[in-house]
Structure 1
Amino acid sequence: MKTNVSDLATTAIAPVIWGSTYLVTTEFLPGFSPMTVAMLRALPAGLILIMIVRELPSGIWWLRAFVLGALNISIFLGMLFVAAYRLPGGVAGTVLSSQPLIVVILASLLLSSPVRLSNIIGTLVGMGGVALLVLTPSAALDAIGVAAGLAGATSMALGSVLARRWRPPVSPLTFTAWQLTAGGLLLLPAVVLTGQPIPVPTITNFLGLAWLGLIGAALTYALWFRGIGRLPPSVVSSLLFLSPLTAVLLGWSLLGQTLTVLQIVGIALVIGSIWLSQRTNT
């Protein structure tokens, strides 16, 4: 499949915006539990989109919507937060960056997509770039945290591949509405079981939730699933390396964090891995 530059650029918007999640969560939503933020990010956005598109799943798509909602939203976000709590941020980010490699493997098994050596090299280079971007010398490993990170990466990788295999008979916006709503509903029991009260939201909290829900979920997932339907899986998955890149650049530009020589090398490797992945499919 030939890569369309316009589709590539449009799809890339999603992981770039996802890279702002850490900054928005820490600066706009202090005091909120991770599961609460995940649920409030997905469910209201999904319900708003349902009201806009006014279309519910039918037949087998009820089951598929909840399967994909679990893989791309509930399980992914749940495992993401477990990894974030048990691992230093750099280790968690590096483990989660294995997702593009997992997508290449799953796409080969489920979609019969060819596994090209350049794709494997590209994803490994990207993972190396992410490691240089976010790892610190004092980073420590935790078996449960690493397992959770790999489970989260595998969950969304499988969800992305299944979304392409099943090819929904609706627009990307409607498809996004179904998954966000299903994923948000599946997160509700986790919020209840944690027993942590939801703080009375301030204007700042509302702004943070609006960004994460309307922009960081409703818009970005619609763009992401549109890209999944139009681009090769290896190209789409390689764009995920843009998230940690964006997070580091935002921390440097807005929070006054330093940018080391190794991080600059990491930036070059991430950009190079994305270029290699899309060149392979041109």
Structure 2
Amino acid sequence: MIKKLFGALALVLSCGTAVVHAADAGYPLESAPKPVTDLGALQNGAKIFVNYCLSCHSASAVRYNKLLQIGLTEEQIKNSLLFTGEGVGDMMDIAMSPKDAKAWLGTTPPDLSVIARAKSTNAGPSGADYIYTYLRTFYRDTSKATGWDNLVFPSVGMPHVMWDVQGPRTLTTTTVHQVSSDPANPEAPKVWERVTVTYDQDGYATSQKETLQGEAHASFDAKFTSLNPEKDAAFDMDVADLTAFLAWMSEPVQQDRKLIGIWVMLFLFIFLFVAYRLNAAFWKDVR
């Protein structure tokens, strides 16, 4: 029995490790800096969500009055978050139907009610890290239909809706990979090549290729350069708040769940001690 228990535990741990390693295969994720216990961040994140996200993305599993839990009053919700006649008890839904969304946007924008939990299944230990990095890695690219692309989600169909908050910036990517020394000859040896692509603030790209001498290893590096550092810093703070709100919205009771879990474990340890003593008292005369 003990061997089976340890075997099951090892399986769970190995599965968890596999998820983290799978996430490492893509663009590296940055840690979301704001916890879901920061009420100020959650309140600002709710405002950003309603103003920038809720026109296309619904949160149909959450009611507006759920925001009372993050310190907002009904009056604040009515005055700051309700703009089209909704009630405080209504779901955070959108007027656009899935059919219209697909016709107008090419695809139906996903519901964001549990997006942080959904992304945690394939983005390492935290879906909040995925969201935080994703929202901060948009860049202009004139070759895309929307005029935007994303490092975390290449060829994403969503434009950068908060570009005016972030301000202009450029992106330089450096890729090292192997290519054939003679594309016309399939048996030609491969050589290492470095490709540097720079996207200016308007999304126009310039590319430079360089053949490397000797051995190298495959790599990818990306560097953003902000043309308005003050706006960029303020944008990062807003994204951190929005990420915290999305993480909270995905599981509003997560703090209560963790606290209940601690009490349950404490009870089980106490019960284990009581059961051990009862077992010793029961078998004392038999032995």
User: Normalized against structure 1, the TM-score is what?
Assistant: 0.28
| Higher strand content, 1 or 2 | 2
| Higher helix content, 1 or 2 | 1
Q: Larger radius of gyration, structure 1 or 2?
A: 2
